[in-house]
């Protein structure tokens, strides 16, 4: 029984890491624990911590606390498998062995290859350049810069696992490359290239989850996610400021 409740916590933790909003994680853990035999479940979750207390029919009470530190890379394919697993636990009453097997399969599901992410970053940056009124040459430059941005995120993540540092470094590279292309005479303005590539760094998912958490009554989680999104935006602005203002005399 206790092991089953632990699996419910594992599933909820991985859902939170994979990009689920707090309300969905709390509801999923509640439903799974009730399906596994609990008579009462108290769940409190924020973006970095999980506390679950389960009351069983035999009068015992069990509490687990988890510290969640890895919420940097969202994985919606994994989240899809975890959602399906939570539904199966509620609807089919899976055994502990079945839950463990399916949870292991969800954690080891096929991930998007890195080379495909490079292509996506490049294509998105190029498309946004055209969307904001850029020409074909600016769009092709944005394609290249977008791939470099993904490369920057890849290596900065290996050096320092900090999303604010990642976005700051990527913005510095974007701005430097944009001004370099102007100096080389390839384009006459940097604005379309910079704004298009910055769009790939905007924390849209985090901000969306923050709004959803606020609307569903999870005020603390919503505020924390909102602050995180604002700090990410400030890191992006700081990278642009460093190159354009402090480094302006060298451009």
**Per-domain residue ranges for the chain?**
2-107, 114-250
**Is the model's pLDDT at 251 over the cut of 50?**
no
Sheet with 61-67: strands ordered across: 38-46, 49-56, 61-67
pLDDT tier for residue 58 given thresholds of 50, 70 and 90: confident
Residues with Cβ within 8 Å of 75's Cβ and at least 6 positions away in sequence, in order, are 17, 18, 19, 111
**What sign does the dihedral 98-57-28-91 (CA atoms) show?**
positive
The secondary structure of 10-73 as a DSSP string is HHHHHHHHHT--HHHHHHHHHHHHHHTTEEEEEEEEETTEEEEEEEETTS-EEEEEEE----SS
* DSSP at 150: H
Q: Contact at 8 Å (CB) between 207 and 225?
A: yes
- pLDDT of amino acid 244: 83
Strands (E), the chain: 38-46, 49-56, 61-67
Residues with Cβ within 8 Å of 186's Cβ and at least 6 positions away in sequence, in order, are 137, 141
Rounded mean pLDDT, 210-233: 82
- pLDDT of amino acid 250: 45
117, burial (CB in 10 Å: exposed 0-12, middle 13-18, buried 19+):
middle
Three-class secondary structure of residue 203 per DSSP: coil
Q: What is the pLDDT of residues 138-180, one digit of tens each?
A: 999 999 999 998 888 888 777 777 778 888 999 999 999 998 8
CA 145 vs CA 87, 119, 140, 165, 167: distances in Å: 42, 11, 9, 18, 14
Q: What is the pTM of this model?
A: 0.78
Q: What is the pLDDT of residues 84-140, one digit of tens each?
A: 888 888 887 778 888 888 888 888 877 777 888 889 889 999 999 999 988 899 999
């Amino acid at each position: 029984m206790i092991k089953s409740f632990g699996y419910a916590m594992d599933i909820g933790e991985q859902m939170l890491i994979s990009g689920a909003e707090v309300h969905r994680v709390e509801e999923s853990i509640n439903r799974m624990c009730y399906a596994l035999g609990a008579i009462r479940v108290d769940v409190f979750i924020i973006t970095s911590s999980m506390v679950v207390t389960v009351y069983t029919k035999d009068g015992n009470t069990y509490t687990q606390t988890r510290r969640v530190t890895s919420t940097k890379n969202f994985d919606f394919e994994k989240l899809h498998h975890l959602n399906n697993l939570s539904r199966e636990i509620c609807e089919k009453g899976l055994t502990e062995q079945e839950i463990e097997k399916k949870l292991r399969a969800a954690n080891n599901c096929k991930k998007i290859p890195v080379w495909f992410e490079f292509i996506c970053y490049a294509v998105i940056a190029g498309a946004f350049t055209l969307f904001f009124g850029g020409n074909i040459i600016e769009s092709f430059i944005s394609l290249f810069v977008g791939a470099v941005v993904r490369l920057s995120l890849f290596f900065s993540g290996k050096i320092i696992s900090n999303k604010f540092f990642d976005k700051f470094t990527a913005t510095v590279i974007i701005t430097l490359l944009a001004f370099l292309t102007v100096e080389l005479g390839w384009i006459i303005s940097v604005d379309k290239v910079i704004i298009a590539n910055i769009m790939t760094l905007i924390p849209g998912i985090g901000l969306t989850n923050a709004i959803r958490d606020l609307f569903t009554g999870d005020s603390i989680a919503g505020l924390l996610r909102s602050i995180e999104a604002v700090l990410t935006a400030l890191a992006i602005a700081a990278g642009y400021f460093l190159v354009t203002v402090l480094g302006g005399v060298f451009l």
